Amino acid sequence: MLPYRTEIRNSPKEQTLKIYLKDISLGEKLKNLLENTNGVRLVEVQESMSRNRMEENVTIYREEGSSINTLKEKVDAFLESYFEKVDS
């Protein structure tokens, strides 16, 4: 099982990228690392509201004009690399 899952979510105002972490203690650390990613406007650690989800998630808001799909690809590549290093 992967240590994370990412999803593109549609809110009434804008599309966001959600990261659901298996280990929620990593939320703040990843938040700080992801804030400097090109195309990211804001990163927040939020309490998950729906059932059958992790207690918290990392929510990424994109910069205006940035593609949410490109941002997801960047974040997925970053997370894959990050967890490869952590697990080895």
Domains recognised in the chain with CATH numbers = 4-87 (3.30.70)
Cα→Cα distances 83→5, 12, 13, 76, 86, Å:
12, 32, 31, 11, 5
pLDDT tens per residue across span 25-83: 999 999 999 999 999 999 999 887 665 556 789 999 999 999 999 999 999 999 999 99
Return the pLDDT at 35. Answer: 94
Return the pLDDT at 88. Answer: 59
pLDDT tens per residue across span 13-22: 999 999 999 8
Return the pLDDT at 48. Answer: 72
Q: Which amino acid is at 43?
A: V
Return the pLDDT at 50. Answer: 60
Q: Which amino acid is at 5?
A: R
Which stretches does DSSP call E strand in 1-88? 4-10, 15-21, 40-47, 56-62
Residue 60 token pair:
């990424």
